[in-house]
Amino acid sequence: MSLPEKLLDEAVELFRGLLRIDTTNPPGRERAAAEYLADSLARDGLDAKLLEPEKDRTSLVARLKGDGSKPPLLLTAHLDVVAAEPARWRHPPFSAVVEDGWIYGRGAVDMKNMAAMSAMVLKALRREGAALRRDVIFAAVADEEAGCDKGSRFLVDHHAELVRAEFALGEIGGFTQELNGVRLYPIQVAQKGMVWLKARVEGTPGHGSMPREDNAVLGLSASLARLGPGALPVHPTKAARSFIGAVARAQPLAARLLLPLLLRPSLADRLLSRLPDRGVARAMNAILRNTVSPTVLRAGEKTNVIPSFAEAQLDGRTLPGQSPEDLLRELRAVLGEKVHLEVLNSMEPVEAPTDTPLFTALSKAVREMDPQGIAVPSVIPGFTDAGPLSRLGTTYYGFSPICFPPSPRVSFSDLYHGDDERIPVEGFKRGLIALYSTVRGWCSA
Ligand SMILES: [Zn+2]
């Protein structure tokens, strides 16, 4: 399936217009971007609802009706972006400059591309009067980068009927990730949970001139020093097995044999320490265990006063199937009894099945977009709108397709929240075709 060149060019211009709207979060102010998309949809007779929990923190929901004989499909993207430092960029981050076939802009891959593609899919289906059995819903949401509260979480809590769907396609996946010359396309099927914690140690206060063995700062720092990347046990979950299995099957012989050994708890750490690509090693480590990163420290006010307590904040992440209590139990075993732990905030992990006809359709779309491309079901260590949206019973897949050229070799992970965020014009167009044919096939079948 393809799309006329004229429509693809129109999509590029819609996308560039969206990139020019600064939706840096904080403060977000997604309204202008939501209105821009609503105007574009209206030109094709598509009504969009703009919804906001507070002024200018706007999400958009539009629906192209099917005959209702099958449940809806949701296309979703967030409209906010993370901050950019213009001095570090080749082109101003909100200028959408095109150079050598690449479009530059904050949000180019994370993820105004998906917002523009989804709007265009609705417009294209509307124009051709496609006979659909499923509604296609498009939700462009606010506030993902700051934790989803004013975007997808607000929609799920207050407007569930507008976004409830059987399946959703959104962040993160469908882009080229080269490993040992193999062109992989991760599709998010699981994401870790989040458990933010406070760790506190109490001690006896006193004068700094007379050191004490029960100094709270020493107690806390000794415990925290035990929290390296490999501190907590390895759990080879189903999601990790299917991801590592799929990546390994596509690899040259040595990697094909070695990668599955990561799933053996007794061998995992030895192998991780030997992976030459440290970025890959960190990503693999994160999908094999619950993790915790100390991020904030607080103790004492004066150089000559031993404080009565020391505190740290820990960013904990749990695997699918693991609860905050599981993480606390593992942490207590490492930190010892003197450290008091308190949960500050948490989000459940998410896991979707991969043995669905839609997942099969996504794998096929990847092969059509890139004949050498191989879809792999992936687990992501961070969180996305999949968290709130899955609470409605929706099966969420990360599929915002982009086809990156073999050269110049640019990696999605470097662009994601990075300087000079950009996307190849051709790769964007091929992504749009892949998304359009998947949606059309899935919703009219
Ligand atoms: Zn994002």
Q: What's the pLDDT score for residue 340?
A: 98
What's the CA-to-centroid distance between 77 and ligand 1, angstroms?
A: 8
What's the CA-to-centroid distance between 176 and ligand 1, angstroms?
A: 16
Q: What's the pLDDT score for residue 410?
A: 87
Rounded Cα distance, 253 and 143, in Å: 43
Residues 178-202 as b or e (16 or more Cβ within 10 Å = b): ebeebbbbbbbbbbbbbbbbebbbb
What's the CA-to-centroid distance between 207 and ligand 1, angstroms?
A: 49
Rounded Cα distance, 439 and 419, in Å: 32
Comparing CA positions, the residue from 423, 421, 300, 435 lying closest to residue 366 is 435
Q: What's the pLDDT score for residue 1?
A: 74
What's the CA-to-centroid distance between 79 and ligand 1, angstroms?
A: 9
Q: What are the residue ranges of helices labelled H in 212-323? A: 216-224, 238-249, 253-258, 265-274, 278-288
Q: What sign for the dihedral angle of Cα 336, 337, 343, 346?
A: positive
What's the CA-to-centroid distance between 315 and ligand 1, angstroms?
A: 19
What's the CA-to-centroid distance between 144 and ligand 1, angstroms?
A: 7
Per-residue pLDDT of the chain (445 residues; tens, 9 = 90+): 789 999 999 999 999 999 999 999 999 999 999 999 999 999 999 999 999 999 999 999 999 999 999 999 999 999 999 999 999 999 999 999 999 999 999 999 999 999 999 999 999 999 999 999 999 999 999 999 998 999 999 999 999 999 999 999 999 999 999 988 899 999 999 999 999 999 999 999 999 999 999 999 999 999 999 999 899 999 999 999 999 999 999 999 988 999 999 999 999 999 999 988 888 899 899 999 999 999 999 999 999 999 999 999 999 999 999 999 999 999 999 999 999 999 998 889 999 999 999 999 999 999 999 999 999 999 999 989 999 999 999 999 999 999 999 988 888 888 999 999 999 999 999 999 999 999 999 999 7
What's the CA-to-centroid distance between 417 and ligand 1, angstroms?
A: 8
Q: How far is CA 61 from CA 164, 330, 400, 402, 404, in A?
A: 11, 41, 18, 23, 29
What's the CA-to-centroid distance between 107 and ligand 1, angstroms?
A: 8
DSSP state of 142: S
What's the CA-to-centroid distance between 299 and ligand 1, angstroms?
A: 34
What's the CA-to-centroid distance between 38 and ligand 1, angstroms?
A: 21
What's the CA-to-centroid distance between 145 and ligand 1, angstroms?
A: 6
What's the CA-to-centroid distance between 208 and ligand 1, angstroms?
A: 47
What's the CA-to-centroid distance between 171 and ligand 1, angstroms?
A: 6
Peptide linkage before 26 cis (omega within 30 of 0): yes
Rounded Cα distance, 341 and 201, in Å: 9
What's the CA-to-centroid distance between 382 and ligand 1, angstroms?
A: 10
What's the CA-to-centroid distance between 400 and ligand 1, angstroms?
A: 10
Rounded Cα distance, 59 and 309, in Å: 43
DSSP state of 89: -
What's the CA-to-centroid distance between 381 and ligand 1, angstroms?
A: 13
Q: What's the pLDDT score for residue 225?
A: 96
Rounded Cα distance, 347 and 324, in Å: 9
What's the CA-to-centroid distance between 48 and ligand 1, angstroms?
A: 22
What's the CA-to-centroid distance between 64 and ligand 1, angstroms?
A: 24
What's the CA-to-centroid distance between 111 and ligand 1, angstroms?
A: 6
Beta bridge partners of residue 190, listed in sequence order: 351, 379
DSSP state of 427: H
What's the CA-to-centroid distance between 150 and ligand 1, angstroms?
A: 15
What's the CA-to-centroid distance between 147 and ligand 1, angstroms?
A: 11
Q: Which amino acid is at 151?
A: G
Calculated CA dihedral for residues 142, 65, 134, 60, nearest 10 degrees: 0
Calculated CA dihedral for residues 36, 37, 40, 46, nearest 10 degrees: -140
Asked if 437 and 365 touch (Cβ cutoff 8 Å), the reply is: yes
Dig out the tokens for 313 from the structure. 């904040």
Asked if 427 and 218 touch (Cβ cutoff 8 Å), the reply is: no
- What is the separation of C-alpha 355 from the centre of its chain, rounded to a whole number of angstroms? 21
What's the CA-to-centroid distance between 10 and ligand 1, angstroms?
A: 24
What's the CA-to-centroid distance between 305 and ligand 1, angstroms?
A: 44
Asked if 359 and 397 touch (Cβ cutoff 8 Å), the reply is: yes
What's the CA-to-centroid distance between 27 and ligand 1, angstroms?
A: 16
Find the helix packing angle between 31-42 and 112-128, rounded to 10°: 20
Q: CATH 3.30.70.360 in the chain: give the residue spans.
A: 193-233+290-345
Comparing CA positions, the residue from 108, 86, 92, 83 lying closest to residue 28 is 83
Cβ within 8 Å of residue 410, ≥6 positions away:
404, 422
What's the CA-to-centroid distance between 166 and ligand 1, angstroms?
A: 22
Asked if 164 and 313 touch (Cβ cutoff 8 Å), the reply is: no
Say which CATH architecture domain 193-233+290-345 belongs to: 2-Layer Sandwich (3.30)
Dig out the tokens for 318 from the structure. 């749990």
What's the CA-to-centroid distance between 408 and ligand 1, angstroms?
A: 24
Calculated CA dihedral for residues 430, 432, 433, 436, nearest 10 degrees: 160
Q: CATH 3.40.630.10 in the chain: give the residue spans.
A: 5-189+350-444
Cβ within 8 Å of residue 256, ≥6 positions away:
248, 249
H or E element, residue 377: strand 374-380
What's the CA-to-centroid distance between 22 and ligand 1, angstroms?
A: 15
Q: How many H-runs (helices) and E-runs (strands) does the chain carry?
A: 15, 19
Rounded Cα distance, 164 and 196, in Å: 28
Q: What is the CA radius of gyration of the chain?
A: 23
What's the CA-to-centroid distance between 275 and ligand 1, angstroms?
A: 27
What's the CA-to-centroid distance between 200 and ligand 1, angstroms?
A: 32
What's the CA-to-centroid distance between 384 and ligand 1, angstroms?
A: 7
Rounded Cα distance, 26 and 427, in Å: 29
Pick the CATH number of 5-189+350-444 from 3.30.70.2740, 3.40.710.10, 3.30.1180.20, 3.40.630.10: 3.40.630.10
Cβ within 8 Å of residue 57, ≥6 positions away:
28, 29, 30, 31, 142, 143, 150, 151
